[in-house]
Amino acid sequence: MRLGVMGGTFDPIHHGHLVAASEVQTRFGLDEVVFVPTGQPWQKDEREVSAPEHRYLMTVVATASNPRFTVSRVDIDRPGPTYTIDTLRDLRTERPDAELFFITGADALAQILSWKDADELFDLAHFVGVTRPGYVLSESGLPADRVSLQEVPAMAISSTDCRARVERAEPVWYLVPDGVVQYVNKYRLYAAGSPAGAPAR
Ligand code: ATP
Ligand code: MG
């Protein structure tokens, strides 16, 4: 069983994430790609991140139509800041037979050596770095046998830009899946002056 792991804040999930996951799924013959929304991301505490439940549900909405895509709650249900090492350890415990492929954009790949327990990361998963407009994709300094680079269709989309667009009342249609546009409107996420509480569970 070959399991792709797509970690992210997904605030909101957009077509850049989905194209990257789909392309790696095909190229690496993955049986499944599990999207893992972070709890509180340790790199992002300067900015207020939307409630984990909102980010989780948007990820479910966005991935529901793809039979190979699933979503995991391991990071949002673990207290404290999210470290990828914990994500991979938990997934390995849940799926002991799976070979893990952690999918990451060029920007995140360049940071990886600064992540907690960086050495052990490469024991737990093979890393697939994907191209992202505006960033240079490089494996320099990383263990060559544990890292692959994959070109994916260029999607110049970021969650930061999507949030800024909503705040300015500009469209995010076609940048994020239709269901995510509707979810953002329904809960008034990212709109100027509207606090985003967690949805009822
Ligand atoms: P933010 O602007 O809030 O940081 P983001 O668009 O970078 O959001 P993240 O949730 O931070 O999205 O990213 C999750 C993963 O997806 C990271 O590995 C990131 O590099 C990758 N990724 C995000 N957007 C793209 C894109 N357009 N193309 C390829 N990879 C992407
Ligand atoms: Mg990012």
pLDDT score of 11 = 97
Residue 82 C-alpha to ligand 2 middle, in angstroms?
14
Domains in the chain: boundaries: 2-156
pLDDT score of 43 = 73
pLDDT score of 198 = 61
CATH number of 2-156: 3.40.50.620
Instruction: Please answer whether residues 35 and 63 qualify as being in contact, where contact means their C-beta atoms are separated by less than 8 angstroms.
Output: yes
pLDDT score of 196 = 55
Among all bound ligands, the one having the nearest atom to the CA of 109 is: 1
Half-sphere exposure of 13 (CA within 13 A, CB side): 31
In the predicted model, residues of the chain with pLDDT beneath 70 are 45-46, 193-201
pLDDT score of 201 = 59
pLDDT score of 195 = 57
pLDDT score of 197 = 59
Question: Nearest C-alpha to atom 8 of ligand 1 is from which residue?
Answer: 159
Residue 177 C-alpha to ligand 2 middle, in angstroms?
18
Instruction: Spell out the residues 6+ positions from residue 156 whose beta carbon is closer than 8 angstroms to its own.
Output: 16, 133, 134
Rounded-to-integer distance, Cα 71 and Cα 59, Å: 7
Residue 95 C-alpha to ligand 1 middle, in angstroms?
25
Question: Nearest C-alpha to atom 9 of ligand 1 is from which residue?
Answer: 8
